[in-house]
Amino acid sequence: YWALVDGNINRKELVFRDKIGRDRHDRRKRIVDAKNGQYAETYVSRLKQFSNKTSLAHCKLKTGRTHQIRVHLSHHNLPILGDPLYNSKSKTSRLMLHAFRLSFTHPLTLEKLTFTTLSNTFEKELKKNG
């Protein structure tokens, strides 16, 4: 995944290992919950840092918890632009989290198919920040 985040990523690579659980005050959200949460691990690589204190990050999941990337980045003060749940102050029109590559095996031919494309809105936001 690529994420356009609010803030500077100070190191080239980060690993977040935080337990994630339900937010008991808002059932739509998840929170870092060291006591009752489920283990989650996210690898984050800085792809680009912009002059307006935003960064483009590559996020790779080791585990697959609900909202994992969104929760980890927000918890570590790098909320995703346009995230209505974890960055409500953002004025960006949509969540700037993008699956930049999708691969799967075709069920009939067993051929591995890979698709890569950048959405128009994500590309426009990158250009605006860059």
- pLDDT tens digit string along 92-103? 989 999 999 999
| Contact criterion met (CB below 8 Å) for 87 and 50 | no
- pLDDT tens digit string along 56-88? 999 999 999 999 999 999 999 999 999 999 999
3-state secondary structure of 102: strand
CA distance 104 to 30: 28
Q: In the predicted model, what is the mean pLDDT of the chain?
A: 95
Q: Structural domain boundaries of the chain?
A: 2-100
Q: Is the model's pLDDT at 25 over the cut of 90?
A: yes
Q: Domain 2-100's class?
A: alpha beta
CA distance 83 to 81: 6
CA distance 121 to 102: 18
